[in-house]
Structure 1
Amino acid sequence: MLTTRRHLLGLALASALTACSTTPPPASAPAPATPNAPPLVVLVVIDGLPMRQVTGYRDQLAPDGFARFLDHGRWFSDAHYGHGHTVTAAGHSVMLSGAYPQRSGIISNEWRDPATGAQVYNTGDTAYQYIDSPTAPLSGTSPRNLKVETLGDVLRTRSPASKVIGISGKDRGAILPAGHKGTAYMYMTETGRFASSTYYMPSHPQWVTDFNAAKPADSFFKKTWAPLLPESAYARSVPDGQTWQVASGNGNTLPAVIGDKMDGPGPRFYGNLLASPFGDELTLAFARAAITNEKLGQRGVTDILSVSLSSHDYINHAFGPESRLSHDHLLHLDRHLQAFFQHLDRTVGAGNYVLALTADHGFTDTPEWAATQGRDAGRFNTAPSLAVVNAALSARFGVDRLARDFSASGLLLNEALANEKGLKFAEVQAAARDELLKLPGVAAVFTREQLLGSDTATPYLDAMRKSFDPTRAAQLQIVLKRHWIFSYRPGGSTHGSPHDYDTHVPLLFWGPSRVGQGEMKQRVEVADLAPTLAAIAGLPAPAQAQGRDLKLKP
């Protein structure tokens, strides 16, 4: 599979519980323009958080972080993504649009153009650059590739004075929820600053310039991530230092010093920072600055703030969701959320905003760990698999490289080459499908014709259909067996399948008098989030939404 520059960051460990001190404006806020609509809608996204971690560590949570939702809000214990290729960009595109990748076009983090084979990044747009930061190839700078509107687009069409702001450690985590009419700010691993792009504005507002000038990322240099609880509290998770846990960055054991053996802050340190609790803390500090300086929820109209916290995803990629490192990070994250929610109470007023929390995907246990538990688990390496398929196709058809590459969740065939050589493409596609099914770890392979059909009985087909945009996706879509992962390295774990451990995520709501309380056990989908928040805000759902209003109003 293709990999983005952000997935190639050095991974490190760190911890922090320090807070960003700001002087909040008065807690009272004027009534929003739409009667009964909340002045502020806040979406918190925890990148790479499976629901099983929230409930599995519930007894160790702080009283007002995740527990705010579980004890005092409305939460869905069986919420899933309906699409099959469960990756960061796809998940973030669904949340506030309600549209699956088959409509939104955001089929993956990156893919290859079916006509040319060129790499495409989900939020890449060479017409725009980051402000005051370097813009590398395939950087995410605009929502141009997003084919649908978001809830923020609906809001700003009807209320141009409303503000829609997306903030994240990843460009796609900021840009896709912000939609076409919002503003996105993302963390720059080269500089340790937050930046927007010229798609949104020619230059930053003064508060962003001031925030970056203070170099808050540098304050975490040489700080230590130590376990939050006594050693006995981690008996339910896998100890540090396992051979399958990636040891790059600052290693794979706690306690660990971020920036250890470095002379000073620089690109490697800033990248490592994102893979620690410090990354969440820094992102939330920027979010607090946005609330204060943009006066979100305090201006007589409804605003939307989306904050996507990226650190848990990097940690789970390196060490697996079963690890003590992931367990402890979740507990640090929980305390950071508690501080953020209490800041919202003081700044906007507890009755003046609605909170929603979800994740962009779940996570697979590390295959090596799963194997110790008696599961059939493994790694599907794309490079040798491509060679095997091409060799078989060449032997049968006498043409080399009929398969271009793996792209997103599929194998991209060179249809133009097949036609040029006088081959029947249907026969090439069928032969490639047969070869893929012979490879270890492959559960199912679907052809373009199946994906464009109406069969809903075949396992996995409907989920993969929801991930399939025929103008962008590979002709053959692949589903690996349970506990198998696409992998380009020997350690760590990932996600991206239609299996429940990758689709099952939190869907939590809080808002006095607006969302009610209690656990809801029926199966729902994250595509329901946008229509539900739209109803709470007194807005129509985004035009291409495929979810439904969950009718949370008490």
Structure 2
Amino acid sequence: MPLLDRRHFLGLALAAALSACTTPPPAPPPGPKLLVLVVIDGLPMRQVTGARSQLVPDGFARFLDHGRWFSQAHYGHGHTVTAAGHSVMLTGAYPQRTGIISNEWRDPATGGPVYNTGDAAYTYLDNPTAPLSGTSPRNLKAETLGDVLRGRSPSSKVIGISGKDRGAILPAGHLGTAYMYMGETGQFSSSTYYMSALPAWVKDFNAARPADAFFQKAWAPLLAESAYARDVPDGQPWQIASGNGNRLPAVIGAQMDAPGPRFYGNLLASPFGDELTLAFARAAVTNEQLGQRGVQDILSVSLSSHDYVNHAFGPESRLSHDHLLHLDRHLQAFFQFLDQTVGAGNYVLALTADHGFTDTPEWALTQGRDAGRFNNGPSLAAVNAALSARFGVDKLARNFSASGLLLDEPLAAERGLTFTDVQAVARDELLKLPGVDAVFTREQLLGSDTTTSYLEAMRKSYDPTRAAQLQIVLRPNWIFSSRPGGSTHGSPHVYDTHVPLLFWGPAYVGAGEVPTRVEIADLAPTLAAIAGLPAPAQAQGRDLRLSAAAR
């Protein structure tokens, strides 16, 4: 039973704490009543600083003008995707330890698909559960800061909220509670891993059908046309026109008779997706009394819409720029709500992103850059043709998996082939393909070389029990994509690793820019120090000493 599983995990955490001393663990030391992590999915730091003169006073500017912010914060791992980033934030551990190597991957033993938060043992509440749906943190191998908190203070609450299941589940950890947006119904729900039925306040929120309020509402530019002079204009051939179209103003639900699954899905790719998610977060703070009950709590809110916008139109687009400005205003309203509800001196805010973003390759080509799309299908065929010609065995390469190519090691053994030879031929063929910069073998990834470009970053993304044997890095401005348009992320290049790391909480974090390079793995140890907690056990980051800086 799911609740028993969670109690068992909590019991183990308590037992570990008790075994470390002969007296009961002390009460948590004085600290903020609430830690709030805000994640902007798919937000490169360059977009925040690029729009600084257009920000409202109390959204992103709350951090930049009155908080402590790190202008050179990067992810240290190489496969920079949503699930991997969300697994790092509150564990302080890279995917090599969390096991969350990607959004999805293929089981090396069977070749079958695995979803990062997939768990067939559990289902969504009051909503359909498709195969491979994200329903639990079972695949997360590391504890989160919330797990540490609840191990010491079982009455504390840890809540993760997101438009995506992985954006809610991974920061919430094993002992928290996750709520995620249901794209078919426009509701927020959870799974049977966390509870047997939704709380009354969640049912009331859904019964009011707040998503329907955005039906046929227009997303219009906030500023005059001159404010977007540096952006790529709307309606470019590489900007995805399905969904809400690729021009502003865009009417969400245009040419639909009533709200339905297509409308609810499209809502996330607009400013209204974030507005709805923050409305649910406000309901959670109010009804769960987060930060208002005499114990520390943690709230994680991952806003998914910017990622959808950047995937469709590219971070260079006017649509992306305008979306950021809408988001800035939504954040201002949410922060002011927290000031009024929890108290401005009672909570700490941290804001980051799960990854950055690559410019759309077609746009990059117009700027004279080498850029392109690496299509997995033809590339797999080319590698298998080379392997078949060399060894006389078909389909030795199973498929692409996360950031790598998965080879059929059992088949190679069955045919009496030396696997290192198979690896070498596949690697050499991959390096011939357009856009490929580097390919690393399993032996390199498990080795100790720290000088080869990209190798250490890809090593931090590599869990040998889950990852493909060959890991691939594309050249700058190239992306893994079979689509004719849009953009993505997932590389160790700076545009994908460089993200915001912003803190606010005057009594706890101080103020000012810090230009020193830091990593997002430092976030969990830093928040732990602010809260008076030990860092999560698997953490590889360091405490950035914000508390000392504040003094």
Q: TM-score, normalised by structure 1?
A: 0.94
2:281 to 272, 277, 287: 287
Q: Return the offset for 1:533.
A: 0.1
- Partners of 1:524 and 1:308 lie apart in 2 by 21
- For the Cα contact (< 8 Å) 2:28–2:533, is it kept in 1? no
Structure 1 partner of 2:60: 66
2:530 to 529, 532, 536: 536
Unaligned runs of at least 5 residues, structure 1? 1-31
1:354 to 341, 348, 355: 348
Amino acid paired to 1:96: L
2:160 to 154, 158, 166: 166
Deviations 1:198-227 (A, max 9, x none): 000000110000000000000100000000
Q: In the alignment, does 2:455 pair up with 1:461? A: yes
- For the Cα contact (< 8 Å) 2:28–2:153, is it kept in 1? no
1:93 to 87, 93, 112: 87
Q: In the alignment, does 2:413 pair up with 1:423? A: no
- For the Cα contact (< 8 Å) 1:377–1:482, is it kept in 2? yes
- Partners of 1:214 and 1:174 lie apart in 2 by 22
1:365 to 359, 376, 386: 359
Structure 2 partner of 1:47: 41
Q: In the alignment, does 2:196 pair up with 1:202? A: yes
Structure 2 partner of 1:392: 386
- Partners of 2:439 and 2:516 lie apart in 1 by 30
Structure 2 partner of 1:231: 225
Deviations 1:154-195 (A, max 9, x none): 000000000000000000000000000000000000100000
Q: In the alignment, does 2:116 pair up with 1:122? A: yes
Q: In the alignment, does 2:294 pair up with 1:300? A: yes
- Partners of 2:336 and 2:173 lie apart in 1 by 27
Q: In the alignment, does 2:175 pair up with 1:178? A: no
- Partners of 1:97 and 1:249 lie apart in 2 by 35
- For the Cα contact (< 8 Å) 1:123–1:140, is it kept in 2? yes
Amino acid paired to 1:175: I
- Partners of 1:145 and 1:107 lie apart in 2 by 10
Structure 2 partner of 1:496: 490
- Partners of 2:327 and 2:244 lie apart in 1 by 19
Structure 2 partner of 1:475: 469
- Partners of 2:27 and 2:52 lie apart in 1 by 38
Q: Return the offset for 1:36.
A: 2.6
SS in 1 for 2:422: helix
- Partners of 2:500 and 2:379 lie apart in 1 by 34
- Partners of 2:470 and 2:500 lie apart in 1 by 31
SS in 1 for 2:348: strand
Structure 1 partner of 2:182: 188
- Partners of 2:504 and 2:28 lie apart in 1 by 20
- Partners of 2:225 and 2:135 lie apart in 1 by 43
- Partners of 1:404 and 1:262 lie apart in 2 by 42
1:447 to 427, 441, 450: 441
Structure 2 partner of 1:35: 29
Structure 1 partner of 2:12: none
Structure 2 partner of 1:83: 77
- Partners of 1:517 and 1:107 lie apart in 2 by 34
- Partners of 1:530 and 1:124 lie apart in 2 by 24
Structure 1 partner of 2:259: 265
2:101 to 102, 107, 117: 107
Structure 2 partner of 1:20: none
Amino acid paired to 1:537: A
- Partners of 1:236 and 1:316 lie apart in 2 by 16
Deviations 1:330-374 (A, max 9, x none): 000000000000000000000000000000000000000001111
- For the Cα contact (< 8 Å) 1:227–1:254, is it kept in 2? yes
- For the Cα contact (< 8 Å) 1:125–1:140, is it kept in 2? yes
Q: Return the offset for 1:236.
A: 1.3
Amino acid paired to 1:347: T
RMSD across aligned positions (CA): 0.7
- For the Cα contact (< 8 Å) 2:28–2:152, is it kept in 1? no
SS in 1 for 2:364: helix
Structure 1 partner of 2:139: 145
Amino acid paired to 2:37: L
Q: In the alignment, does 2:131 pair up with 1:131? A: no
1:216 to 196, 201, 210: 210
Deviations 1:399-434 (A, max 9, x none): 000000000000000000000001111100000000
Unaligned runs of at least 5 residues, structure 2? 1-25
Q: Higher helix fraction: Structure 1 or Structure 2? A: 2
Amino acid paired to 1:156: R
Deviations 1:86-128 (A, max 9, x none): 0000000000000000000000000000000000000000000
SS in 1 for 2:388: helix
Say which is worse superposed, 32-41 or 96-105, in terms of deviation.
Answer: 32-41
Structure 2 partner of 1:6: none
Amino acid paired to 1:535: A
Structure 2 partner of 1:521: 515
- For the Cα contact (< 8 Å) 1:33–1:300, is it kept in 2? no
- Partners of 2:154 and 2:489 lie apart in 1 by 38
1:314 to 300, 308, 316: 308
Deviations 1:238-289 (A, max 9, x none): 1000000000012100001000001100000000001100000000000000
SS in 2 for 1:379: strand
- Partners of 1:348 and 1:39 lie apart in 2 by 8
Amino acid paired to 2:444: Q
SS in 1 for 2:161: strand
Amino acid paired to 1:48: G
Amino acid paired to 2:436: V
Q: Return the offset for 1:33.
A: 5.6
- Partners of 2:195 and 2:76 lie apart in 1 by 35
- Partners of 2:60 and 2:250 lie apart in 1 by 26
Q: Return the offset for 1:35.
A: 3.3
Structure 1 partner of 2:15: none
Deviations 1:271-318 (A, max 9, x none): 000110000000000000000000000000000000000000000000
Q: Return the offset for 1:513.
A: 1.2
- For the Cα contact (< 8 Å) 1:389–1:432, is it kept in 2? yes
SS in 2 for 1:546: coil
- Partners of 2:521 and 2:250 lie apart in 1 by 39
Amino acid paired to 2:309: I
Q: Return the offset for 1:488.
A: 2.0
- For the Cα contact (< 8 Å) 1:33–1:302, is it kept in 2? no
- Partners of 2:177 and 2:455 lie apart in 1 by 36
- Partners of 1:150 and 1:489 lie apart in 2 by 35
Amino acid paired to 2:253: G
- For the Cα contact (< 8 Å) 1:33–1:301, is it kept in 2? no
- Partners of 2:512 and 2:31 lie apart in 1 by 22
Amino acid paired to 1:406: F
- Partners of 1:222 and 1:120 lie apart in 2 by 36
Amino acid paired to 2:505: G
2:317 to 316, 323, 326: 323
